[in-house]
């Protein structure tokens, strides 16, 4: 069977070792980063990574791979991504 044009073709994988080394594939852009957080645009939406003493170990946007080192405390996908209309709880409830 063929894939439809609306299906995502870029696979995303996340690997975390001992909360110290994070490897992510499917990254298209690093929007912002500092020693406490990274905001990545991925094939699955925007991903916010929080922690302590974070630094970029590897960045290869051609292959979509990023590696981050430091103490990782939180990984959060931001719903709806940037640029899309965000709806609150009641907006989603009463569609």
Kindly state whether residue 54 falls inside one of the protein's structural domains: yes
Q: For 30, which DSSP code?
A: E
Give Cβ neighbours of residue 88 (< 8 Å, ≥ 6 apart).
Answer: none
Q: Give the Å distances, CA to CA, from 17 to 12, 24, 67, 73, 89.
A: 17, 12, 11, 12, 35
- Answer yes or no: is 76 within a domain: yes
Q: What is the pLDDT along the chain (95 residues), one digit of tens a residue?
A: 444 444 457 889 999 999 999 999 999 999 999 999 999 999 999 999 999 999 999 999 999 999 999 999 999 999 754 444 444 555 545 55
Q: Which DSSP symbol is given to 90? A: H
Residue 5 lies in a domain: no
Residue 7 within any structural domain of the chain: no
Structural domains in the chain (count) = 1
Residue 45 domain boundaries:
14-93
- Residue 51: burial class (beta carbons within 10 Å; 0-12, 13-18, 19+): buried
Q: Which residues contact 29 (CB under 8 A, 6 or more apart)?
A: 40, 41, 61
């Amino acid at each position: 069977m063929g894939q439809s044009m609306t299906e995502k073709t870029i696979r995303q994988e996340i690997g975390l070792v001992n909360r110290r080394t994070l490897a992510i594939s499917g990254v298209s852009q690093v929007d912002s980063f500092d020693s406490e957080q990274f905001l990545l645009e991925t094939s699955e939406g925007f991903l916010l990574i929080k922690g302590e003493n974070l630094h970029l170990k590897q960045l290869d946007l051609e292959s979509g791979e990023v590696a981050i080192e430091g103490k990782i405390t939180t990984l959060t996908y931001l719903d709806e991504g940037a640029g899309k209309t965000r709806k609150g709880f009641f907006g989603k409830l009463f569609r």
